[in-house]
Amino acid sequence: MADDLDIEAMLERFRERAESVKRRNLPPVGGDERALFIQQARDDYQDFAIVGDAVGSMEDGVLTLRVDLRASDG
């Protein structure tokens, strides 16, 4: 499994998922359900974007994703 893993392709899929969340249509729901849907979309986007921004490496069969969460300058 580890030998077959294309880390960059995996990270690209997460970037694509983050973008698809942005394009996700809001279903015809209202009230509490609408608020829950919107919050879930925010959480999904954040999670996918964080992983998509990672730098991945494989060492001795261990996948490491390094994510810099420090504020950027600009």
Alpha helices in 24-67, H assignment, sequence order: 31-52
In a domain, residue 34? The reply is yes
In a domain, residue 55? The reply is yes
Residues 49 and 18: beta-carbon distance below 8 Å: yes
The residue type at 67: V
Q: What is the number of structural domains in the chain?
A: 1
The residue type at 55: V
Beta strands in the chain (DSSP E): 55-59, 62-66
Which pLDDT does position 28 carry in this prediction?
Answer: 87
pLDDT tens profile 12-64:
999 999 999 999 888 888 889 999 999 999 999 999 999 999 999 999 999 99
Which pLDDT does position 61 carry in this prediction?
Answer: 92
In a domain, residue 11? The reply is yes
In a domain, residue 9? The reply is yes
In a domain, residue 8? The reply is yes
Which pLDDT does position 30 carry in this prediction?
Answer: 86
In a domain, residue 72? The reply is no
Length of the chain as a residue count: 74
The rounded distance, in Å, linking the Cα atoms of 14 and 56 is: 12
The residue type at 61: G
Question: Which residue range forms the structural domain that includes residue 9?
Answer: 2-66
